[in-house]
């Protein structure tokens, strides 16, 4: 089985199945198509499947032309999971969020796996890319895959290879980002390296699926902890009347021993706000308390309230209250220059302001209409940041610093500006740093 599958992968005769056609799955699909594989995509959302089969993209930084090219060169999408029997590789790219208790929610991974198990056959490789805690692959997936008598490492090959994507960053693409891969057995590892070796410039083998799972968590916890540190420094600097952004710019001139991280209104994205909690949860099983990680999480989680406090102070200085004020949130994507709203702190700001009685609108050139989200509901469209519109709001909050905003115009026409991104360097009575 192993040799036959290796030959298919190396000769590009294998059919690749990608489950979850979002920010991770779509770029990976395009890369497999680019090098000559046939790809079958799976998703539970029929609207997405119909759009892709029509050659249309629903992610801003992925052009519809690339999707159209893919559909003409071996890609198709389906909601029918029974089609999994036709593919040689299944790559799982589904969400791993937290539940309301801030605990790991593996339901997307386990439900997807359970949906595929009846159609698995000998000679397939199953790769999980979703971020998760160490032990998920061998504790949760392996027993499920073996339910129908298939043996992992002999009949079926199981690997964990965490996704690494930076949406909207033109300096890195799927091919050039090194890919970590850990197999359940040596045979699984060999298959995993062949699966990714044809499409990724550098595949980094590790000794086990648990090592690969921990690698992904370390990468994101490293970032979360450092952002937590600089967010705490922001609060301290603010109390002392010091501009933290000026301090960071100065510190960054040191050519060694310092890496700049930047504060903001909170953490966003599909990884940084979530992944640390996967490790803290799993660590409790071993009687460990991850104090450093949890402290960073507390600091980062408090940032939206810090911004709200700055809004309240600025409005108070203008003899207004949040209750009844019109507030415009500039940027609702979690980072600049993308349309990705996953875990965006801007949404939390909007909800908190609304709860306090503000009339909230938003402006985001990348998101014309507030999308359907599992936990957040706003029936809003993006407001054009024209001079007239800006002047009509009691204050605007710069939450995401998109390059397409005209910052000079915002400064000229907004009554009050709450700058949570350090965009405005010079002092101005109408600007409050947050």
Cα(88)–Cα(4) distance, integer angstroms: 11
Cβ pair 335, 262 in contact under 8 A: no
Cα(106)–Cα(137) distance, integer angstroms: 11
Cβ pair 180, 161 in contact under 8 A: yes
Cα(72)–Cα(74) distance, integer angstroms: 6
First to last CA, the chain: 59
Of 204, 359, 224, 356, the C-alpha closest to 296 is 224
Cβ pair 122, 155 in contact under 8 A: yes
Cβ pair 396, 418 in contact under 8 A: yes
How many whole angstroms from its chain centre is CA 301? 17
User: Is 271 in the active site?
Assistant: yes
Q: Are strands 124-128 and 203-205 parallel, antiparallel or unpaired?
A: unpaired
Catalytic residue among 93, 181, 188, 271: 271
Cβ pair 224, 275 in contact under 8 A: yes
Place of tokens 């199945």: 17
Place of tokens 């801007």: 346
7's enclosing H/E stretch is: helix 2-10
- Residues belonging to the active site: 271
């Amino acid at each position: 089985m192993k040799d036959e599958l290796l030959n298919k992968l190396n000769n590009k005769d294998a059919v690749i199945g990608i489950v979850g056609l979002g920010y991770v799955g779509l770029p990976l699909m395009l890369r497999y198509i680019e090098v000559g594989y046939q790809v079958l995509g799976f998703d539970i959302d029929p609207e997405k499947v119909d759009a892709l089969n029509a050659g249309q993209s629903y992610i801003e930084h992925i052009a519809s032309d690339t999707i159209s090219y893919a559909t003409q060169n071996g890609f198709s999408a389906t909601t029918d999971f029974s089609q999994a029997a036709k593919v040689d590789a299944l790559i799982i790219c589904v969400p791993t969020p937290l539940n309301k208790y801030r605990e790991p929610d593996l339901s997307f991974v386990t439900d997807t796996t359970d949906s595929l198990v009846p159609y698995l056959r000998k000679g397939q490789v199953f790769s999980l890319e979703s971020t998760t805690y160490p032990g998920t692959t061998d504790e949760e997936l392996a027993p499920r895959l073996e339910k129908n008598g298939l043996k992992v490492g002999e009949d079926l090959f199981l690997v964990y290879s965490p996704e690494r994507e930076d949406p909207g960053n033109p300096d890195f693409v799927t091919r050039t980002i090194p890919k970590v891969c850990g197999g359940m057995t040596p045979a699984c590892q060999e298959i995993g390296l062949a699966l990714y070796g044809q499409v990724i410039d550098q595949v980094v083998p590790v000794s086990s699926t648990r090592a690969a799972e921990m690698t992904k968590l370390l990468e994101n916890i490293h970032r979360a902890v450092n952002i937590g540190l600089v967010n705490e420094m922001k609060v301290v600097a603010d109390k002392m009347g010091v501009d933290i952004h000026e301090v960071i710019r100065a510190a960054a001139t040191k050519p060694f021993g310092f890496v700049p991280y930047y504060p903001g209104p909170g953490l966003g994205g599909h990884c940084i706000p979530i992944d640390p909690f996967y490790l803290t949860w799993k660590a409790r099983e071993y009687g460990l308390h991850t104090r450093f990680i949890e402290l960073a999480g507390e600091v980062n989680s408090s940032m939206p309230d810090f911004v709200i406090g700055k809004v309240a102070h600025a409005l108070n200085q203008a003899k207004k209250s949040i209750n009844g004020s019109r507030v415009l949130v500039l940027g609702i994507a979690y980072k600049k220059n993308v349309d990705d709203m996953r875990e965006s702190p801007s949404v939390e700001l909007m909800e908190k302001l609304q709860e306090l009685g503000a009339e909230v609108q938003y402006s985001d050139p990348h998101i014309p209409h507030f999308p359907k989200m599992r936990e957040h509901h706003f029936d809003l469209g993006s407001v054009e940041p024209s001079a007239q519109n800006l002047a009509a709001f009691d204050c605007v909050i710069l939450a995401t610093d998109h390059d397409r905003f005209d910052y000079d115009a915002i400064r000229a026409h907004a009554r009050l500006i709450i700058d949570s991104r350090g965009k405005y360097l010079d002092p101005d009575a109408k600007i409050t740093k947050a």
